[in-house]
Amino acid sequence: MAAAVHHIELWTNDLGQVEAGWQWLLTSLGWRDGDDEWESGRTWHHPDGTYIVLEQSSAVVAISHDRMRPGLNHLAINSPSQALLDALRDQALEHGWRELFGDRYPNAGGPEHTALFLENPQGFEVEIVSP
């Protein structure tokens, strides 16, 4: 069976500012580097076939992402374990991510929902969900 999502493409106005943070986060979660890397972008592939594209485009019209505007609010990605979630939380800041809702970790999404919420320097929010 094919993955439910084919791919997600995220645009940035400064690839150099956020690429390393995405690299750390996605590879920590089991995504692999794509073979299709180019000057203004790169990809990471999940074992289920889904891939994420991060691309710097001259067509970007704003300096940062605003998740409160219409469009994408955040990207939610599964973590294989609570232990990995805790490790990501401990390492996030040194990789360019800041924690959101830290005072309610690990249940900021509700009492039955275990997740870590992170934001990168350009305002992209990622929710990492643990079983």
Q: What is the CATH number of the domain that holds 54?
A: 3.10.180.10
Map tokens 């994408």 to a residue: 72
Confidence of residue 10 (pLDDT cuts 50, 70, 90): very high
Residue 63 lies in a domain: no
How much is the pLDDT for 61?
Answer: 86
Res 38 pLDDT > 80: yes
Burial class (CB in 10 A: 0-12, 13-18, 19+), 67: middle
Whole-Å CA distances, 124 to 2, 4, 26, 83, 97: 27, 22, 14, 24, 9
Q: Helix 82-91 and helix 15-28: axis angle, to 10°? A: 150
Residue 122 lies in a domain: yes
Helix (H, G, I), strand (E, B) or coil at 52: strand
Question: Model-level pTM?
Answer: 0.92
Q: Which domain holds residue 98?
A: 7-58+72-130
Q: Which token pair is 2?
A: 């094919």
How many domains does the chain contain in total? 1
How much is the pLDDT for 125?
Answer: 97
- The rounded distance, in Å, linking the Cα atoms of 116 and 63 is 25
- The rounded distance, in Å, linking the Cα atoms of 25 and 91 is 10
